[in-house]
Amino acid sequence: MTDCGCDKAKAELEEFLHNELDAQQCQDIRDHMANCDDCSAEHLVGLTLTTKVKEACQEKAPDELKQLIVGAIDRLDARA
């Protein structure tokens, strides 16, 4: 077990949240956060934001809006 330190943990937090690090890097960050309240709190904020953005992106545009957009694209294609 190695402590990667606050600078490294914070610098790689985004990648950690999106599972973009290798297993050892993830473990190093987990180990660090287990003993660092500041990094642990920052991770919680990042996790909350990521979850809320994913939830917000689940909304679907109304059919009327989709039709307006498709119609506008069709008109632009017809001009080209």
Extract the tokens encoding 55. 């939830």
**Residue-level pLDDT at 17:** 93
pLDDT per residue over 54-70, tens digit each? 888 888 889 999 999 99
Give the residue ranges of DSSP H helices in 1-80.
6-11, 13-17, 23-34, 37-56, 63-79
pTM for this structure? 0.64
**Residue-level pLDDT at 42:** 95
Residue ranges of the chain whose pLDDT lies below 50: 1
**Residue-level pLDDT at 1:** 47
> Which of 43, 44, 23, 33 has the alpha carbon at shortest distance from 3?
33
**Residue-level pLDDT at 3:** 63
Q: Domains plus CATH for the chain?
A: 6-79 (1.10.10)
Taking every pair of Cα atoms in the chain, the longest distance, rounded to a whole number of angstroms, is 63
